[in-house]
Chain A
Amino acid sequence: MTEQRHAEIFALVRSNIYEVLPDVEGREIKSDDRLTDLGANSVDRAEIVMLAMEALSLHIQRVELSGVKNVGELVDALYAKSHGQ
């Protein structure tokens, strides 16, 4: 895992969160933040995941990314999937 690539995916997810949840724009997002606590409902959460998948050109089933508990785990899962793991 390159630290830089991981940080890029984190930044991508953060910008997607800002896009889907304008209320939290500019707020610091931490790895252990849960999307629910940031105000995302299930439709919002799916949108955030989908925007990230599109930006990373990830062609996988969405259900493979379900079950993550917080932003950090989502970033880890996206990193793993985008590196064929």
Chain B
Amino acid sequence: MKNAAPGKMRINKDKCFSFFYLAPFLIIFTVFTLLPVLISFALSFTSFNGLEFPKFVFFDNYLDLFLSDDEFLLGLKNTLIIALFTGPIGYFASLILAWLLNELSPRLRAVMVLVFYAPSISGGAYMIWQLLFNSDAYGYVNAILLRLNLINEPIQWFTDTRYMLPLVIAVTLWMSLGTGFLALVAGLQGVDKSLYEAGYVDGVRNRWQELWFITLPCLGPQLLFSAVMSISSAFSVGAVTTALCGFPSTDYAAHTLMNHLEDYGSIRFEMGYACAIATILFALMLLTKAIAQKIIRNVGQ
């Protein structure tokens, strides 16, 4: 080393580079994502109708939610049930499918990925379920059940409280191969093939061991991404219930936190209250994400 100057200049240049590459994103992100989130959080402690200046009410919104809002508690219960079923099942289905599809030839794989991703692309994806479970005798499922003499009269699928929640779960699952699934498909392409050969030399005996010891650890970053996407979509089910069961659904049987939030946010314009619901939903997701992160860290051990 003759002199320290070039090295120092290099570090400065490096810092400059990092700054200019990170700054555009960071500024836009702060202004249009972080700031609105912080404002919403602050609003959850106020009474705000969207027009007048927000009035500070401490924890009133939260107390009201848990102590005197039965629909909220029902929505919380439904959301947790839906998330419990659709989150893990959807996640593992994405993973297994992506893994199986990876074995196919490139062309066939592209076609199959499209098939599984189709419900996420096509706009009116629920329509087909309405057709299948139409509540008159012409709905496909009712027609079949009637013909087999299993029922005497058509079932009101989307207004009978017994069937609403299971149907919502089924439709959500059917649509769950979305963002995370595509990330896993792309991630599997990046797994170094030579690792498999090395693995077999080191004593990997079957495909399951190969998946657990080689593929999954290589896929780690995508596993986390896809888990975050699964959590976010499993907890924010709402559009599906409105499209299938209407809003409000019969006896609030398919009411979710998202429905409750939209009710207060865009119908009643009690923004403070809506923000409190959003904050609770956010807390639930953060907790779930922390657990998922812990589990993913132990993959391949």
- The yes or no verdict on A and B being binding partners is no
